[in-house]
Amino acid sequence: MAGEMAPQVGEQAPEFAIPDAHGTVRRLSELASGGVLVLVFYRGHW
């Protein structure tokens, strides 16, 4: 069910390392290192 496993507010989000649209591997810790990351999940290409 949606959201059941989702990290709760106040919990640490799981680290990941996956490619961006240019094939460069990006880590959550790197993306968030500036202080705040807005991470938007979307359904994908229409």
Partner 1 sequence: MAEYRDQYAKLRAAGAEVAALSVDDVARSRAVTDELKIPFPILCDPRREVVTAFGVLNRGEKGGIAYPAVFVIDRARVMRFRVLETVGARVNPGDLVEMVRSVAGGVEPRALPRPARVWPGAMFLRAIYNSIRRGVKQPR
- Binding to partner 1, residues 7-26 (CB under 8 A): 7-16, 18-23, 26
Pseudo-torsion of CA 27, 36, 2, 5, nearest 10°? 70
Neighbours of 37 (CB within 10 A): 13
Q: How many CA atoms lie within 13 A of 44 on its CB side?
A: 0
For the bound state, the minimum distance from the C-beta of residue 21 to partner 1, rounded and expressed in Å, comes to: 4
For the bound state, the minimum distance from the C-beta of residue 6 to partner 1, rounded and expressed in Å, comes to: 3
Q: How many residues bind partner 1 (CB under 8 A)?
A: 40
> Can you give the binding site for partner 1, defined by CB under 8 A?
1-16, 18-23, 26, 28-29, 31-45
